[in-house]
Structure 1
């Protein structure tokens, strides 16, 4: 637990708590723009599933559901035909597959292609799978408001694929797991609604979730629970970060680094807690010889500065434009810290940055020490398989012989001496300038 004795006084602790709360709330959009709290259909990239029922759909999602065949053009209401008859013709028999609000095959195909393309793009950029079924819906409204909003209760990750029979199929994602809508829990805290009983339910048990949700909101006039099912893109990673910061508030408040970032010069920390002098470039070979450093990839003097600081346990910001070797430097940092017996958590907003570093670790034989925990690697099955693989392996890092190290030291000294000689300032001798002008 964090107490005021760890700080200069309760005022500093209150300021730190307020800053942490600002960071936390900035992660979650509780306004009507958040689709997790205010779901609305778009023209091309959301689908309302009317058939099969929510329970049947969930139970058969593992094997997959085909979309019901539709005509190329919307049927016309002819003489003697009622609009309701056309609607029944669209829905067809339950065995035909999934039925949505789309009336023609082209319109359904456009919506499915749009959903799949956008989900794939987000996955490639950020490593997040956002294509979900929103199963079960809470109709809620602000106190005093006349109109309500719809929020899905359960998010079930799915994929869209073409089946062998040529029809489009929707099935559960093998790499992701169902989860409760995390934004809904945060929002309902504002209404002082205890959502604990819902959070304790298995997200795949739809009946239990709906029943617990109905009990939780029973006292709110105009609030309703339904078994609606929609297909759309739902991103919930920021809400998960919010909950993590909330559950671990004491640990976060106890971090000197968080304290320094939040309070700055008023943090009350010792002046040398994070301040340090990096090794000077002209002394890097003397204080951190490359042949004695745990480098796995090529590195220049400035990159070796950063690696030496990281291995020494320093906290710092490494800044540089694209193409200057930041990923390579990070790889060397990770290898150096592993060599020192440390554990490393490497995070990035873009999945591509994680993949680049992981590929470079693999290229030097260190992939058995790396556990990828992003995108499709986050499922329990994938983590268990990866742990099983590395436990069964006995990776051995290649060692350089003492003769090779001695030769590398000699070559470095020779090159350094040449560079020093080339940059040495010499006194101009009589006639030297005249001879130089003749040569030019």
Structure 2
């Protein structure tokens, strides 16, 4: 179990070269823009963009959207269009905002030799084209500027040091806004948290350097393990960060010594499982089929389930029914999804059934906070109205009718459950009635066993069938008319004493047979054998005639 968790943690952290928040050796056209490329494109040095970000400016002009007189504008504008389109697509698909300006960059190798080239700081931003047809950068106020989470966690992992928790939670907007004072404070924070990163004099100059593309081998050639330093590079682009926040959860699971099986993560105490779910305690706002009801009842009984199926098979509808059922019973339900569209579908369906007021749709914890608070205030203002609706006569009548229908459903379910139990009951013969019905046919040869079937359960049949076949093979000759013992007597009712007497008679037969043969030989003057029997039978008629003649003369 520990190995599984460590493997998942490693995948989540993604400390390999594929994590662009840790190792960015080259810029990708659709994802990144070297901020130094904006140097004097708009008539001002590129570092001024950093200056305005630190000072809290709301709008920062980057470059004209189009300018045929200045060649660099076209290349810059094309890249900005790609980045803006990618950021919007990520937001639509996952609901996460991943557009940042990263500055400065950490270069070097961790103590184990793992190379790193990553932004130290991330400034969340938005791209747009203003009314003057200029590319404009705006700080994203929905999330604060922060340290690169992936770098801090990777530093702790590879350097064998505790995670700098204070830096993980630090809001960079609380630091001084003047660029030189900001960098001085940043330097002091790195020393306080014992992050071994060399900060040279170039870091304190107001000039960005060009971001140079490297091949992996060329970049690592002159680096030494355990040596890190800062470079005045800045990149605007897509840097996924969400996965890093789950690492602490995996660390907490790894510290649990008694965690041995995956099922323990989803375990529910037996006391909390309701084994008899009554119909009047099920509140579903949407229609459902049998498979959906099975999944819903399993969840209500405390089980963890995975529901799979192609689009249109009712997965979202099942989620909506779970939400309506649990909320109707006073529970709180959290629905999470990696896809923004999936949450929108669930929320839209709930709203269609009048449950939208009781559900809060959150795609961004900061951007949607105001809407959620407004919705909560409206709910509080409606409390008196809800009480009146609950005490109205039609509500009371509806509750009673619902209760009666629920009890009727329970009775039918109990009857059907009894039928089901009987249909699959194997206690009598080892086979269920369903299996016997499906595997039997009155058109095939059969015999009536009456009550004898109780002596032939399924487990005894394996031994009984070979014995039956052997008996039949031996019994067939006995049933033929020419069989010598055709008129034999049955000995099944013989007592023990009678059996003993019969055995004595059988044992005496050879002696009696010998005496009989001797007498016949003495009377006839010839040796008598079984082979001579046909001759004696043929002469029997003549013998009888001789006996009659002799009787007449005498």
Structure (1 or 2) with the greater helix fraction: 2
Aligned equivalent of 1:128: 96
Contact (CA 8 Å) 1:201, 1:209: kept in 2 or not?
A: no
2:149 counterpart of 1:167? no
Aligned equivalent of 1:27: 12
How far 1:334 sits from its partner (Å)? Answer: 1.3
Contact (CA 8 Å) 2:111, 2:226: kept in 1 or not?
A: no
Q: Determine the C-alpha separation between the residues in 1 that align with 2:84 and 2:234.
A: 18
Contact (CA 8 Å) 1:17, 1:253: kept in 2 or not?
A: no
**Aligned counterparts, 1:107-186, within 5 A:** 107-143=75-111, 149-186=116-153
Q: Determine the C-alpha separation between the residues in 2 that align with 1:277 and 1:312.
A: 5
How far 1:37 sits from its partner (Å)? Answer: 0.7
Unaligned runs of 5+ in 2: 37-45, 176-181, 199-224, 414-554
Residues 277 and 412 of structure 1: is their aligned pair in 2 closer, same or farther, counting only changes over 3 Å?
Answer: closer
Residues 216 and 292 of structure 1: is their aligned pair in 2 closer, same or farther, counting only changes over 3 Å?
Answer: closer
**Aligned counterparts, 1:271-286, within 5 A:** none
Aligned equivalent of 1:246: 251
Aligned equivalent of 1:223: 228
How far 1:183 sits from its partner (Å)? Answer: 1.1
Aligned equivalent of 2:238: 233
2:304 counterpart of 1:315? yes
2:398 counterpart of 1:401? yes
Tell me the TM-score normalized by structure 2: 0.55
Aligned equivalent of 1:199: 168
Unaligned runs of 5+ in 1: 1-15, 76-102, 263-268, 280-286, 417-440
Q: Determine the C-alpha separation between the residues in 2 that align with 1:307 and 1:144.
A: 50
Contact (CA 8 Å) 1:61, 1:170: kept in 2 or not?
A: no
Q: Determine the C-alpha separation between the residues in 2 that align with 1:217 and 1:54.
A: 28
Aligned equivalent of 1:337: 326
Residues 180 and 365 of structure 1: is their aligned pair in 2 closer, same or farther, counting only changes over 3 Å?
Answer: farther
User: The residue matched to 2:138 in structure 1 has which SS?
Assistant: strand
Residues 365 and 199 of structure 1: is their aligned pair in 2 closer, same or farther, counting only changes over 3 Å?
Answer: same
Residues 402 and 58 of structure 1: is their aligned pair in 2 closer, same or farther, counting only changes over 3 Å?
Answer: closer
2:43 counterpart of 1:58? no
Counterpart pick for 2:21 among 14, 36, 56: 36
Contact (CA 8 Å) 1:132, 1:234: kept in 2 or not?
A: yes
Q: Determine the C-alpha separation between the residues in 2 that align with 1:67 and 1:230.
A: 13
Runs of 4+ in 1 over 6 A off after TM superposition: 252-257, 276-279, 406-413
User: The residue matched to 1:231 in structure 2 has which SS?
Assistant: strand
Contact (CA 8 Å) 1:47, 1:231: kept in 2 or not?
A: yes
Contact (CA 8 Å) 1:133, 1:231: kept in 2 or not?
A: yes
Residues 247 and 314 of structure 1: is their aligned pair in 2 closer, same or farther, counting only changes over 3 Å?
Answer: closer
Aligned equivalent of 2:470: none
Residues 328 and 140 of structure 1: is their aligned pair in 2 closer, same or farther, counting only changes over 3 Å?
Answer: same
Contact (CA 8 Å) 2:111, 2:227: kept in 1 or not?
A: no
Contact (CA 8 Å) 1:278, 1:305: kept in 2 or not?
A: no
Q: Determine the C-alpha separation between the residues in 2 that align with 1:104 and 1:231.
A: 17
Aligned length: 353
How far 1:302 sits from its partner (Å)? Answer: 2.6
Contact (CA 8 Å) 1:49, 1:231: kept in 2 or not?
A: yes
Q: Determine the C-alpha separation between the residues in 1 that align with 2:142 and 2:372.
A: 13
Tell me the TM-score normalized by structure 1: 0.68
